[in-house]
Structure 1
């Protein structure tokens, strides 16, 4: 076929743009629907909580459990809009979320969004550190052993299976006792520096590395039998060179699709790990808010965490066709 014929059959920029835009819009609408479901769930938690919400607010603010007067309850109900019909409260709640308003804390009376914003950076830093470390561990263990059947490869594969199912808080407790208490290589209480984030990140990264490592290992073994790999070997390229330069970039693609899920799992796991290592972040904030029965703060953390999880998955879904040209071509 001539060049003119091929150019006539090739899709134009408008067609390519529509092909990319359609799935993107569907993913965006799906993300909005999921966020709406989470927001509706958190509203139900607040609205259907046993007891009088106005009484709860007064007791939390006072730090004691007493019986408020009818006038005090009426004042709080009017201030927070609890005296309005439930449908009106629900619409106001959704409208506030659209404007970034998560309500006010029962305890401190500060905007929930401001309180969460103060504690998010340490949690995000821990989450991203764990994601990077998990990928490094998975690649270092998988690249030289995938597709082999020697004892070392079987041992690494078994370790990855065990690591994938190990609870992060259990790994964190072991690391804390061994490295911080017994060997005193790192501080017991996590700080903001590198030494303070190393153990918590490792506790989160080990299970992630096991999960991603298994996915990469399976794809690695499949790609090793592809014709372009055999061709590279015939050209005299070393086994490690073939694995790093040709196989790895194809084998990691399934793992990349899981990165959005991994960020969400790490973000939720970070809340528990922060409590184990006494680190600042959303974990300690959630525990304190739950203990104080600060319902808006608890539900605000749930909504914020769900929002970050949804955004991470959405970005990965949108970026994946760009990362893998085969998806774009299809």
Structure 2
């Protein structure tokens, strides 16, 4: 319990630092939120209307006063209202979050289902033709940015194979963004899991199991898989946290109404309350996911003790 309290306390300066940097970048941006608001609304604005908007949203106050006001409201549970449409920020986040979470979970599950068996296979059959082919494919795949993979899939699905005439708005719309992220992550995961499994296969106890006649399947998918799960869990936690904060381009490409697209739209509109709220949500999600990884880390490796000095180091 003390370990988790320490970890949670350590997130406070991280959240403050991230929000301060974000707020500073928005503040220093040359675009004016008041002009952006009326421009998006499609209505002409007089100077008096602009001044009234700035005054209502405290945009005419000094930088640190604005930042302090945001924190006071945030600690009261008030995330403010969106400059774009006047709706509560919390309402828009709660509506968009499930879309991003669904992509993240689907992509993570598919990535592990593909990467773990292929990574272990390549580690055990390093010299086989299939292993070398997988190695070439992963090397090429790693060099391609994920959003390029998304654009290629968009072209193939809509223009070549005509599977989707337009981007679907129903539950099937999750397929292409999830597949895009799965491909991008699998290329990296296969290589990393292969390295982890290769190190494990070179250990003496594996040679002992082989000498005692233990079958290959038992060695690979019982012993080696269990031993590599500790590192895979850590890798997954870091990737999942990054995934939540890195889907903005993918969601924008596929017009998927998740937090990433919400953040992009907010940045374009200079919607300060929305930007700050989404950033804080993503930071907290990243931290909580890594705390969960620590719990799973301890379950899979009995040598780990959450309160241990070695782990904290």
- Which TM bucket (shorter chain)? 0.7 to 0.9
Instruction: Answer with 75-84 or 139-148: which moved more.
Output: 75-84
Confirm whether residue 156 of structure 1 aligns to residue 134 of structure 2.
yes
**Partners in 1 of 2:257 and 2:223 — Cα distance?**
42
Higher relative contact order (CA 8 A, sep 6+): 2
Q: How does 1:1-330 map to 2 (within 5 A)?
A: 21-22=2-3, 24-50=4-30, 55-56=34-35, 59-60=38-39, 62-64=41-43, 66-69=45-48, 72=49, 75-147=52-124, 148-186=126-164, 188-193=166-171, 195-328=172-305
- In the alignment, is the contact (CA less than 8 A) between 2:31 and 2:270 conserved in 1? no
**Partners in 2 of 1:143 and 1:52 — Cα distance?**
54
**Partners in 2 of 1:249 and 1:230 — Cα distance?**
17
Distance 1:164 1:99, change over 3 A: farther
Distance 1:28 1:292, change over 3 A: closer
**Partners in 1 of 2:58 and 2:169 — Cα distance?**
41
Instruction: Answer with 116-125 or 25-34: which moved more.
Output: 25-34
TM-score by length of 2: 0.85
**Partners in 2 of 1:191 and 1:83 — Cα distance?**
40
**Partners in 2 of 1:233 and 1:186 — Cα distance?**
50
Distance 1:191 1:86, change over 3 A: closer
> Structure 1: which 5+ runs fail to align?
1-19
**Partners in 2 of 1:132 and 1:324 — Cα distance?**
22
What's the offset of the Cα at 1:308? 2.0
Structure with higher Rg: it is 1
What's the offset of the Cα at 1:37? 0.9
> Structure 2: which 5+ runs fail to align?
none
Residue 143 of structure 1 aligns to a residue whose secondary structure is helix
TM-score by length of 1: 0.81
- In the alignment, is the contact (CA less than 8 A) between 1:60 and 1:294 conserved in 2? no
Residue 166 of structure 1 aligns to a residue whose secondary structure is coil
Count the aligned residue pairs: 306
Residue 303 of structure 2 aligns to a residue whose secondary structure is helix
Distance 1:101 1:220, change over 3 A: same
Deviations 1:77-121 (A, max 9, x none): 443334555433322212222333332111211121211211111
Residue 122 of structure 2 aligns to a residue whose secondary structure is coil
Distance 1:154 1:59, change over 3 A: same
- In the alignment, is the contact (CA less than 8 A) between 1:35 and 1:310 conserved in 2? no
Instruction: Answer with 255-264 or 285-294: which moved more.
Output: 285-294
Instruction: Answer with 249-258 or 288-297: which moved more.
Output: 288-297
What's the offset of the Cα at 1:229? 2.1
